Amino acid sequence: MTRLFVDEYPGQARLVRAAFLNSFIALGLGATFGLVQAFHRTDIYRFLPSPDYYTVLTGHGVFLVISFVIFFLVGLFHWAITDSLGQRPTRAWLSWGWYGLMSLGTLIIAASILGGFFEEPPEVLGAPLSADVLFTFYAPLQANPLFYLGLIVFFAGTWLAGADWFRTWLTWKGDNPGKRIPLPAFMVLTTMIMWYLGSIGVIVSLIAFIVPWSFEVIPGVNPLLTRTLFWFFGHMVVYFWVLPAYLLWYNVLPTLSGGRLFSDPLARVVFILFVLLSTPVGIHHQYMDPGIAEGFKFVAMTNTMFLLLPSLLTAFTVVASMEHGARQRGGEGTFGWIRALPWREPAFTGMALAGAVFAFGGFTGIVNAGMNINYLVHNTLWIPGHIHTQVGTATALSLMAGSYWLVPQLTGNRLVGRRIALIQVVTWFLGIVFMTNAMYRSGLFGVPRRTAEPQYSFEYDVGIGSMGELNAQIALGGTLLFVATVLFLGVMLLTVLNRDSEPLVDGTIPPALSGPEDSPRILDNLKLWAAIAIVLLVLAYALPLASIIQQGGLHGQDIRPYPVVLALVDAVQHAGTTLGVAIY
């Protein structure tokens, strides 16, 4: 007997489908931009003028890591809360309210970015409609005010979504006094506590500084302050991107492997560690920023190394669960059990490959985190290499694989093209191996990131292979990724249209081998963990922020672009005076 989410909660399924639809549109747009970048920056095929590269790159970053991932996340979380608590969210208008705000915010953001493609962008709110500020939108790069307003509306939507799920949980708690929070719901709630705490930085930065500055209400901003507030949020957000994948790995992957989750208590510990540690580490993105004392950077580095712990625990728990599943299916031997896993199942294979890539991303993350080695890779193509193994694959591929399992339960339609789905996940995996391998290596030879023209006018001296070979791999990898995206979207579209069919999946998630009753009750005390997280945040950020404001002021100097020629004349005159000769 298949138990379908859509039959039990038709209203909730509709909202999840709507969120997924937005997510998939963003994925299609973002992947197209990614392909353009891969061809442009390797100089293999160009059809846009280079200045437009930054519009493309902003769109790529924002559509993928904001719209694609976060819309999927809210859909997945809405499903997880409803399904695991067995409880409908209490107010339908509230649910559709956050969905509406997030969609409106996204439309505004998208318009402000895409406006940049016009030769003469229309004037909106006193500035040309364009937002070439990349997804790290701190000063001094400045976008049209609409871009920031769109972000604020979007963030408001996510806050409201969290409120919706907390309400649902409180209602459930009232009806089920003393019961342990089911694991998927626990993951949703802890992730949202993390999001509330971590997004405060960027919201303050937007409302107090960047928006007034973009409207020219205040003369300038302290760039280091907006950077620091951005990264206060900027590291936490990477976990916000990855935790939906974790939710799938902990809850769905063991089932798909034919077994059960190894340890529910360990999973709870992992999510609490993220609440505590994911925000007080943001300064590790600022090792190269002048104006922040080395000591603060060192503290951030130490915190970051602690943050490896939850990832390693996850690797252990998830692999142990897969092994358990494989042995249930008759797998034997030290490694022989791996063959007994259901490799023909696209949802399984996609998630397993995503997990494998995540491990590589984790190792390269340790390189980024080291204060001294970071100087080697900072702002090189190594960094997008890292991004694409983490959010670009661990998350994106898990979400796509998860869709193969979840979308049939949300639509009541059978998945179309299982073989194509299998080819799709493998194609993505191959694409990412080519692209990121070449990105990592290019980075080690100093090829910069975020530039349309990385070739300058000299030849890079690459250790092994050649620059041509690295570029070819980036273009090939990018093409495979794009093809995989198109296949995924095609399978999804056909599945949604596949009306008169019955899904083959069963949505039941079996209980963990070591269940919640084995974990201390204090783990479910969300108030306590939130309070400790706030203390850690204050400890990590109070002094650096105070010192930044003391040095540069709340609003800093006027940092409008300064004409270089004038600066040069000044400098020459200054040199002349110093030397005792008058130069005019």
Cβ-based neighbours of 508, under 8 Å, separated by 6 or more: 3, 255
Sign of the Cα pseudo-torsion (513, 516, 518, 523, in order): positive
Kindly indicate which of the ranges 123-131, 150-158, 390-398, 564-572 contains the residues binding ligand HEM, using the contact rule CB under 6 A: 390-398
Q: Could you say which DSSP state residue 179 is in?
A: P
- For the bound state, the minimum distance from the C-beta of residue 136 to ligand HEM, rounded and expressed in Å, comes to 6
Q: Is 392 one of the binding residues for ligand HEM (CB under 6 A)? A: yes
Whether the Cβ atoms of residue 199 and residue 154 lie closer than 8 Å to each other: no
Helix (H) / strand (E) containing 127 = strand 127-128
Whether the Cβ atoms of residue 45 and residue 212 lie closer than 8 Å to each other: no
Instruction: Kindly tell me which of 31 and 194 has the beta carbon lying closer to ligand HEM.
Output: 31
- For the bound state, the minimum distance from the C-beta of residue 383 to ligand HEM, rounded and expressed in Å, comes to 7
- Maximum alpha-carbon separation in the chain: 93
CA–CA distance, 391 with 358 (Å, rounded to integer): 9
In SS3 terms, 492-534 reads as HHHHHHCCCCCCCCCCCCCCCCECHHHCCHHHHCHHHHHHHHH
Which of Cu ion, ligand HEM, none binds 115 (CB below 5-8 Å, type-dependent)? none
Reading the block at residue 467, the tokens are 């620059």
Radius of gyration of the chain (CA): 25
Cβ-based neighbours of 469, under 8 Å, separated by 6 or more: 438
Whether the Cβ atoms of residue 401 and residue 347 lie closer than 8 Å to each other: yes
Which of ligand HEM, Cu ion, none binds 35 (CB below 5-8 Å, type-dependent)? ligand HEM
Which of Cu ion, ligand HEM, none binds 37 (CB below 5-8 Å, type-dependent)? ligand HEM
Q: Is 387 one of the binding residues for ligand HEM (CB under 6 A)? A: yes
CA–CA distance, 97 with 114 (Å, rounded to integer): 26
Report the alpha-carbon angle 174-180-185, nearest 5: 85
- For the bound state, the minimum distance from the C-beta of residue 285 to Cu ion, rounded and expressed in Å, comes to 5
Residue 380 pairs in a beta bridge with 448
Sign of the Cα pseudo-torsion (60, 62, 66, 67, in order): negative
- For the bound state, the minimum distance from the C-beta of residue 362 to Cu ion, rounded and expressed in Å, comes to 12
Altogether, the residues listed in the chain come to a count of 584
Report the alpha-carbon angle 536-211-50, nearest 5: 100
Instruction: Kindly tell me which of 378 and 450 has the beta carbon lying closer to ligand HEM.
Output: 450
Total residues binding ligand HEM (CB under 6 A): 28
Reading the block at residue 44, the tokens are 């293999």
Which of Cu ion, ligand HEM, none binds 235 (CB below 5-8 Å, type-dependent)? Cu ion
Binder of ligand HEM out of 19, 31, 248, 256 (CB under 6 A)? 31
Helix (H) / strand (E) containing 124 = strand 123-124
Q: Could you say which DSSP state residue 473 is in?
A: H
Which of Cu ion, ligand HEM, none binds 134 (CB below 5-8 Å, type-dependent)? ligand HEM
- For the bound state, the minimum distance from the C-beta of residue 305 to Cu ion, rounded and expressed in Å, comes to 12
Residue 263 pairs in a beta bridge with 514
Instruction: Kindly tell me which of 67 and 144 has the beta carbon lying closer to ligand HEM.
Output: 67
Report the alpha-carbon angle 405-479-27, nearest 5: 45
Residues 43-82: x where in contact with ligand HEM by CB under 6 A, - otherwise, as a string: --------------x--xx--xx--xx-------------
Instruction: Kindly tell me which of 99 and 482 has the beta carbon lying closer to ligand HEM.
Output: 482
Q: Whose CB is nearest to ligand HEM?
A: 34
- For the bound state, the minimum distance from the C-beta of residue 437 to ligand HEM, rounded and expressed in Å, comes to 13
Binder of ligand HEM out of 4, 6, 26, 34 (CB under 6 A)? 34
Q: Is 38 one of the binding residues for ligand HEM (CB under 6 A)? A: yes
Which of Cu ion, ligand HEM, none binds 270 (CB below 5-8 Å, type-dependent)? none
Binder of ligand HEM out of 201, 331, 346, 384 (CB under 6 A)? 384
Q: Is 350 one of the binding residues for ligand HEM (CB under 6 A)? A: no
- For the bound state, the minimum distance from the C-beta of residue 303 to Cu ion, rounded and expressed in Å, comes to 11
Which of Cu ion, ligand HEM, none binds 167 (CB below 5-8 Å, type-dependent)? none
Burial profile 252-283: b = 16 or more Cβ within 10 angstroms, e = fewer:
bbbbbbbbbbbbbbbbbbbbbbbbbbbbbbbb
Instruction: Kindly tell me which of 65 and 300 has the beta carbon lying closer to ligand HEM.
Output: 65
Residues numbered 223-282 forming contacts with Cu ion, rule: CB under 5 A:
235
Binder of ligand HEM out of 341, 347, 391, 421 (CB under 6 A)? 391
Instruction: Kindly tell me which of 41 and 555 has the beta carbon lying closer to ligand HEM.
Output: 41
Which of ligand HEM, Cu ion, none binds 396 (CB below 5-8 Å, type-dependent)? ligand HEM
Instruction: Kindly tell me which of 427 and 519 has the beta carbon lying closer to ligand HEM.
Output: 427
Select from 130, 134, 102 the least CA-distant residue to 115: 130
Instruction: Kindly tell me which of 150 and 258 has the beta carbon lying closer to ligand HEM.
Output: 150
Q: Whose CB is nearest to Cu ion?
A: 235
- For the bound state, the minimum distance from the C-beta of residue 202 to Cu ion, rounded and expressed in Å, comes to 14
- For the bound state, the minimum distance from the C-beta of residue 388 to Cu ion, rounded and expressed in Å, comes to 15
Select from 399, 393, 246 the least CA-distant residue to 317: 246
- For the bound state, the minimum distance from the C-beta of residue 491 to ligand HEM, rounded and expressed in Å, comes to 16
Instruction: Kindly tell me which of 390 and 413 has the beta carbon lying closer to ligand HEM.
Output: 390
**Residue ranges in contact with ligand HEM by CB under 6 A:** 31, 34-35, 37-38, 41, 57, 60-61, 64-65, 68-69, 134-135, 384, 387-388, 391-392, 396, 449-451, 478, 481-482, 485
**Residue ranges in contact with Cu ion by CB under 5 A:** 235
